[in-house]
């Protein structure tokens, strides 16, 4: 059985990737390595946790000795690296946490892979999951991010992801590590931590709390359903060319304010509230420092070379997302109270 190490598998996107690989590839043994930070939640994987081809490993990618040991103990065929600090606002208040996890953590994984795979390098694959934010921001509505767009990160988060991308390419160029990178646009869907725009708005609408729109709400994001991202990762891991970068996006641009209005309408309908009720909660707040105006991905390369394109229309994806949050109110309350963290910390300390 080929062993695949997925990092950050207890997080939002990682949990969808782990589920996809565990259920679609019985020939792989999937190791989910996650430190269970505030963003990691094993509840996300409750349905597959007993699968015979799934192993959870609690551990920190910033701990080089631990990572080296894990690679020596297990001959991993491949790595899919998602573990990261992922929230831009947190990177503004605590940039060093992003340097440590996203840059040092990635370098530790690269180093461990290089050392443990040295005799058989070409037989392996190191897949680094990155973001479109490394390209900076767009102003001209006719422009899109291409794989060749010059890096221009503008927040501590995107700078740390850009640095990690550079390290991944450097290990390919210098040591021949067989790598592949993808840069994806904004994801949405079930299990999204409610500090990010869409789940935060859903949470606050349910609780009749203010809906904080940064600045005038004119910034634009390109939204992709998380299961479509997981499918793209599957395709790129299996068919992507070594050394290459692939952009992943939804071709689905929304101005923040329009998206918040759409969510308000959808939630009013689902909750049986009078139309127009939730939009009264919209509150304009101080803009995010250095707020990137627009992200938009050109994913033509992924479509033409590997045949991937988004499968879900936004209207359907958003309905599914809202329905998931409404039927999983316990998940939402647990992650906002932090009680799940205490539960799992105790469980793993006692093992």
Q: How far apart are CB 187 and ligand DAU at their closest, in Å?
A: 7
Q: Catalytic: 151?
A: no
Residue nearest to ligand NAD as judged by C-beta position: 11
Provide the strand spans (E) within the chain: 2-7, 28-34, 54-58, 76-81, 125-131, 179-184, 186-188, 211-214, 220-225, 245-248, 253-255, 282-285
Q: Catalytic: 133?
A: yes
Contact residue for ligand DAU among 186, 191, 247, 278 (CB under 6 A): 186
Number of shown-chain residues binding ligand NAD (CB under 6 A):
29
Tokens of 79: 């790595």
Query: How many DSSP H helices and E strands does the chain contain?
Result: 13, 12
In the list ligand NAD, ligand DAU, none, the entry touching 62 (Cβ below 5 to 8 angstroms by class) is: ligand NAD
Distance CA 233, CA 127 (A): 9
Cα-Cα-Cα-Cα dihedral sign, residues 261, 264, 268, 273: negative
Catalytic residue among 31, 54, 157, 246: 157
Q: How far apart are CB 39 and ligand NAD at their closest, in Å?
A: 3
Interacting residues of 50 by C-beta distance below 8 A, sequence separation 6+: none
- The dihedral region occupied by 36, where left means phi > 0, alpha psi between -120 and 50, and beta the remainder, is left
Contact residue for ligand DAU among 214, 261, 284, 324 (CB under 6 A): 214
By three-state DSSP, how is residue 77 classified?
strand
Paired sense of beta strands 220-225 and 253-255, if any: antiparallel
Interaction of residue 133 with ligand DAU, rule CB under 6 A: yes
Contact residue for ligand DAU among 180, 213, 233, 235 (CB under 6 A): 213
Q: Catalytic: 27?
A: no
Q: How far apart are CB 224 and ligand NAD at their closest, in Å?
A: 8
Interaction of residue 91 with ligand DAU, rule CB under 6 A: no
Distance CA 339, CA 19 (A): 24
In the list ligand NAD, ligand DAU, none, the entry touching 253 (Cβ below 5 to 8 angstroms by class) is: none
The residues binding ligand DAU (CB under 6 A) are: 86-88, 131-133, 185-186, 196-197, 200, 212-214, 219, 221, 256, 288, 295
Active-site residues, by number, are: 132-133, 157
The residues binding ligand NAD (CB under 6 A) are: 7-8, 10-14, 34-37, 39-40, 60-62, 82-84, 86, 101, 105, 129, 131, 161, 184, 186-187, 193
């Amino acid at each position: 059985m080929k062993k695949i190490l997925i990092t950050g598998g207890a997080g939002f996107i990682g949990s969808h990737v782990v589920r996809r690989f565990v259920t679609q590839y019985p020939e792989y043994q999937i190791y989910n390595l996650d430190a269970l930070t505030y963003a990691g939640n094993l509840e996300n994987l409750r349905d597959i946790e007993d699968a015979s081809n799934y192993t959870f490993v609690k551990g920190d990618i910033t701990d080089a000795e631990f990572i080296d040991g894990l690679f020596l103990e297990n001959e991993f065929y491949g790595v899919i690296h998602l573990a990261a600090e992922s929230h831009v606002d947190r990177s503004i208040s605590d940039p060093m946490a992003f340097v440590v996890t996203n840059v040092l953590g990635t370098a530790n994984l690269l180093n461990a892979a290089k050392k443990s795979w040295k005799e058989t390098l070409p037989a392996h694959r190191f897949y680094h999951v990155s973001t479109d934010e490394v390209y900076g921001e767009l102003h001209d509505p006719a422009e899109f991010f291409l794989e060749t767009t010059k890096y221009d990160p503008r927040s501590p988060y995107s700078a740390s992801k850009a640095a990690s991308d550079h390290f991944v390419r450097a290990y390919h160029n210098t040591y021949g590590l067989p790598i592949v990178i993808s840069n994806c646009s904004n994801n949405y869907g079930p299990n999204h931590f409610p500090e990010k725009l869409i789940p935060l708005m859903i949470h606050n609408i349910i609780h009749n709390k203010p809906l904080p729109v940064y600045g005038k709400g004119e910034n634009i994001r390109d939204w992709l359903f998380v299961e479509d991202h997981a499918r793209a990762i599957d395709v790129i891991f299996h068919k992507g060319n070594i050394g290459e970068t692939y952009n992943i996006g939804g071709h689905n641009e929304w101005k923040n304010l329009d998206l918040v209005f759409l969510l308000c309408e959808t939630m009013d309908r689902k909750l049986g509230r009078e139309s127009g009720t939730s939009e009264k909660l919209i509150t304009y707040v101080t803009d995010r420092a250095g707020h990137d105006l627009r992200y938009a991905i050109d994913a033509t390369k992924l479509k033409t070379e590997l045949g991937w394109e988004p499968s879900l229309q936004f209207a359907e994806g958003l309905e599914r997302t809202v329905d998931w949050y409404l039927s999983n109110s316990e998940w939402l309350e647990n992650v906002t109270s932090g009680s799940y963290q205490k539960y799992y910390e105790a469980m793993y300390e006692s093992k």
